Amino acid sequence: MKVNDWFLSNEERGNPASGIDGRHDDGTAWASGNTVRPIPHGAPYFTELLDRVRGLRAGDLLLFTDWRGDPTERLDGPGTEVADVFAEAARRGVVVKGLLWRSHWDRLLFSEAENRHLGEAIEAAGGECLRDMRVPPGGSHHQKLVVLRHHERPERDIAYVGGIDLCWSRRDDASHAGDTQAAPMAEVYGAHPPWHDVQAAIQGPAVGDVEAVFRERWEDPQPLTRNPLHRLADLMRREDTEPDPLPPQLPDPPACGPHAVQLLRTYAHRRARYPFAPRGERSVARGYLKALRRARSLIYIEDQYLWSPQIAESFADALEANPDLLMISVLPLHPDQDGALGGTPQMLGRNQALSILERAGGDRFAVYGIENRQSVPIYVHAKVCVIDDVWTTIGSDNFNRRSWTYDSELTCAVLDETPDGREPLDPAGHGDGARRYPRDLRLALAREHLDRPDIPDADLLDPVSFFAAYAASADALDRWHAGGRRGRRPDGRLRRYEASRMSPLTTVWATPFYRLVCDPDGRPRAMRRSGAY
């Protein structure tokens, strides 16, 4: 397997202003020698994070960015609230620095107050947490990362990258009973919405790359907000709006595993330019497009949205070019919010995207939602992609134009040096061979969704039998529901996803709202015209 067949080169990233690729002595745009460990679900991630943060000593470093941070979210029971745990670290002499998206108005069901209060608690303890609104209009900072560096114990250094925010509703586990601290969601998800998500734990030299992503944003000299009302409110509250200098970056942790890691990012092309991405960066989009050109056997994704026709066409091109290629998508069965403006434009974009994929793939394309054993829908917030059991991503980006061009995003792409010895040895047939890390991740997610933790590998390894297993499980559960839920509930959590029907009038009003608000385009004008990223 040649890593550069799958990963972007420095030139292919298309952002020479960033220093992220110049960090590597071998000149590559990725870091080798890492160990990456997927962590499905917020509960085990939060428990591990709590233990890791409590193990930090004076002089160590805790860096984090987040879309939403709830100060009262418990990492592992009473007394483990995020704000308290991070503040305790700051009081021990840990250097704690955070960047939170400033957020839109709370009455629009965003998190302006929560993010401010988390920052206040950390600053009161001697840390520093800034609210960052350096985004295009209507955009957000969507990156979710935590970096823990140890001044004299580099073997303990670790970074977390993925889809899990440090906030309410995220602390769920494989049982999917939901978080006892629940944020408001659509009524269909119940009082404690079940939540499916994935985070990646990274150890090795790539930890330095994740830290470099944080430092570029932290050291951006532009004001945190240009809104005069925001700036007046900050002045009246005496809010910290000037980042203090960070300590010098430590040498990268030593190599410790077989995984090559490439960080892919999105930054919009803004009038007030990012110094580290003056024309924006779209390496998330470019990374997926390069990998999709090599897809031959199976594309497996789990995603919150999948609602952009432009992004769907990228997958459709792969399906049309390769008649044996299969694709499975696991998505939420329902939007996260009730109401016409909350869900209808999203469903319009998703209907368009799924229609494109169904035309391209026919019965080689399948889309599912999931529910728990109590038949409550599980909200899929994961952002995962596995291609041919070779190339894998876990990150913050969704499969829509907003994530590929507009909001700030961060995803961790992984290639494993370790061949997987189970048949089929090379399902794609292009000589790369199946790899251990992506295959184990795909099987772990499948066993949960099929509700069969002991299912033999042989039933799921081959892409064709894997595709059939998902279909059979969903069909059995759908028949049980259609029959009035009589008799024993079948194993499995998968349901066939059914597109919502929309009247012509609904389509007329929802289309401009979807394009301008839900799925804006952050590319330079010339790229928009050409369709390039």
Q: What are 32-88's pLDDT values in tens digits?
A: 999 999 999 999 999 999 999 999 999 999 999 999 999 999 999 999 999 999 999
| pLDDT value at 485 more than 60 | yes
pLDDT at 106 over 80: no
Q: How far is CA 410 from the centre of its chain?
A: 7
State the chain's mean pLDDT as an integer.
95
- Residue 518 has what DSSP assignment? I
Note the pLDDT tens digit of each residue in 245-265: 999 999 999 999 999 999 999
Adjacent-strand bridge partners of 274: 277
**What are 38's two structure tokens?**
């997927």
What's the average model confidence in pLDDT over 170-184? 97
Compute the distance between CA of residue 311 and CA of residue 287 in angstroms, rounded to an integer: 13
Strands 259-267 and 61-66, by their bridges, are unpaired
Q: Side chain identity at 325, as an amino acid letter?
A: L
DSSP H/E element including 132: strand 128-132
Question: Measured between alpha carbons, how far is residue 464 from residues 50, 309, 315, 392 in Å?
Answer: 41, 26, 18, 19
Percent of the chain with pLDDT over 90: 89
- Evaluate if residue 507 carries a pLDDT over 90: yes
Instruction: Note whether 76 and 111 are within 8 A (CB).
Output: no
User: Cα–Cα distances in Å, from 133 out to 99, 117, 161?
Assistant: 10, 16, 21
CA 159 to chain centre: 14
Kindly indicate the confidence band of residue 104, based on its pLDDT and cuts at 50, 70 and 90: low
Closest CA to 20 of 216, 172, 243: 216
**Coil, strand, or helix at residue 162?**
strand
C-beta atoms surrounding 457 within 10 Å: 14
Residue 147 pLDDT level (bands cut at 50, 70, 90): very high
Q: Where does residue 336 fall: left (phi above 0), alpha (psi -120 to 50 degrees), or beta otherwise?
A: alpha
Structure tokens, 110: 């965003």
Q: Strands, DSSP E only, in 279-372? A: 281-282, 298-302, 326-330, 365-370
Measured distance CA(191)–CA(204) in Å, rounded: 40
State if pTM tops 0.75: yes
The residues, any chain, with a CB within 8 Å of residue 337's CB and separated by 6 or more, are: 109, 184, 185, 186, 343
Q: Compute the distance between CA of residue 299 and CA of residue 44 in angstroms, rounded to an integer.
A: 27
User: Quick check: bond before 335 cis, omega within 30?
Assistant: no
- Residue 262's CB is within 10 A of a number of other CB atoms, namely 26
Please write the tens of the pLDDT for every residue from 302-336: 999 999 999 999 999 999 999 999 999 999 999 99
Q: What is the model's pLDDT at position 214? A: 98
pLDDT value at residue 240? 87
In the predicted model, what is the mean pLDDT of residues 342-365?
Answer: 95
Give the model's confidence band at 114: pLDDT under 50 very low, under 70 low, under 90 confident, else very high.
low
pLDDT higher than 80, residue 108: no
3-state secondary structure labels for all residues of 168-183? CCCCCCCCCCCCCCCC
Which helix (H) or strand (E) covers residue 40, if one does?
Answer: strand 31-40
Residue 171 CA to residue 173 CA, distance in Å, equals 7
Give the integer Cα–Cα distance in Å for 295 and 150.
Answer: 39
What residues contact residue 479 under an 8 Å CB cut-off, 6+ apart?
none
pLDDT digits (tens, 9 = 90+) for 440-455: 999 999 999 999 888 8
Distance (Å, whole) CA 411 – CA 392 = 10
CB 496 within 8 A of CB 475: yes
387 HSE (CA, 13 A, CB side): 24
| 71 exposure class (CB count in 10 Å sphere: 0-12, 13-18, 19+) | buried
Among candidate residues 526, 273, 527, 260, the one with its CA nearest the CA of residue 414: 260
Q: Convert 48-100 into a string of H (helix), E (strand) and C (coil).
A: HHHHHHHCCCCCCEEEEEECCECCCCECCCCCCEHHHHHHHHHHCCCEEEEEE
Residue-level pLDDT at 410 = 98
DSSP 371: B
The angle subtended at Cα 364 by Cα 329 and Cα 354, nearest 5°, is 50
Question: Coil, strand or helix: which one is 264?
Answer: strand
Q: What is the band of 113 on the pLDDT scale with cuts at 50, 70, 90? A: low
Q: With 80 as the cut, is the pLDDT of residue 116 above it?
A: no
Return phi, psi of residue 231, to 5°: -65, -35
Query: Coil, strand, or helix at residue 202?
Result: strand
- Measured in whole angstroms, how far is the alpha carbon of residue 102 from the centre of its chain? 19
Query: If you average pLDDT over residues 7-18, what whole number do you get?
Result: 97
β-strand pairing of 494-496 with 365-370: antiparallel
To which H or E segment does residue 247 belong?
none
The radius of gyration of the chain from alpha carbons, rounded to an integer in Å, stands at 22
Mean pLDDT, residues 219-242 taken together: 90
Q: What would the two tokens of residue 202 be?
A: 């990274």
18 pLDDT above the threshold of 60: yes
- Asked whether the predicted pLDDT for residue 110 surpasses 60, the reply is no
